[in-house]
Structure 1
Amino acid sequence: MRIARFSTGDGVAFGVVEEGEQVIARIAGHPFGGVELTGERYPLAEVRVVAPMLPSKVIGIGKNYADHAREMGGEPPAEPVVFLKPNTSVIGPGEPVMHPEKLSSRVDFEGELAVVIGRLCREVPAERAYDVVFGYTCANDVTARDLQAKDGQWARAKGFDTFCPLGPWIETSLDPADLAITTTLNGELRQTARTSLLLHHIPALIEYVSAAMTLLPGDVILTGTPAGVGPMDVGDEVSVSIEGIGTLTNRVISRD
């Protein structure tokens, strides 16, 4: 099932994307705990699809593909590298990424598979991890690379407004073990990998993160980016595509 958030101009609601992605059927309330349709259906082309979830927090995982760890000048870490992005960084498909040109001279794209948590949980053992997963979506972990190096920690570099595009929707019926993931910059392929190459797979990530913090319905875990990250400039268009989910596209504009 594909769950999207959308606006008809008089508010935002959840819906089920159906009929070859041509129609969206409205859900009563939120989709956690069961989907109840209202009977309202809209042509997808006539609504605005927004970020599929507004999480209480976004948990990022760094250096979770060996080739990316090495392109960043290090060896693959023995344990997951965890960081946080504020929920104010989240935007949806088609919304602009704002380049803070006065503060950063290099802003990079990082295409990733994102996991959406479906229930309140903590201390989840790996063997039960999928019980707390609601679904999966595409993500771009936008990063001010120069500030990441300058600050010595990643909060500012990854926390700017608009630095966490998510979408276009959440796929709830998907095996995430071996999915193709690609990122293009202005139509040119820059990243390509499969999720089977993750160093720390989704059950291990959920166990590791939930041992430290309570996860709430709608929270998002970014599973890491493969090699090929690079800068994007004002006017560029970045698309992250994941097999079985779809494509998330955002254009870069100046914030200043």
Structure 2
Amino acid sequence: MFVPLHDGVPMRFLRVPYVTYWLICLCIAIRLGIHLFADEAGEVAVLAGFGTIPSVLFGEAMLPEELYKAPPWLTLATGILFHASFAHLVGNMLFLWVFGDNVEDAMGHVRFLVFFVLCGMAGAILHALMNPESPQPLVGASGAISGVIASYLMLYPRVRVWGLAFKWIPLRIPAMYALGAWILFQLLAALFDTQGAVGWWAHLGGLGAGAVLTPLLVRRGLPLFGRPA
């Protein structure tokens, strides 16, 4: 397991990655709001109402009226902003903080926001397809951030990233190794984790969407895979 801390890649086109910062602040504000103003039953209701529930999305089940917060199709997007715990939130926001600014820089504000939402939705769709009868809500920005990771890897594969291996060993290694190992872990977990507590397929869906969308959304002439311009 590799926890990224810093990459040191300077901004080339934007002064401030406003969308990255806005997304981080919004996710933190929502999690804090749930923690401060909702009891346990209220938290369950919020996550069920705004998260993607596969069985509800495909019409196999219906939410009770008191839990209904958004149309099932819209939860593919709203679920991105809600997190089940502070640990879930911190892990996602750390990855977004380290890698999101450079991907936003490569795409521009508007295209990055579109990219982020589409990757999150793609992750939720793949998760639902792989678990069509699940009554559990999928929440969190993991699918969207997986798309950011795929994009960063395509843009800066040779950049050395500071991070913690196994949560406590400091290392500075090329992104292609750190993030490549992270992607391999997601794939193995999706194939062999039978508990279903983590949306591994959402991560893979976001990764796939990020890989497909990056060449379409980055600035014209920006090289990929470390090739010269």
The structure carrying a bigger strand percent of its residues is 1
- TM-score interval for Structure 1 and Structure 2 normalised by the shorter chain: under 0.3
TM-score by length of 1: 0.21
TM-score by length of 2: 0.23
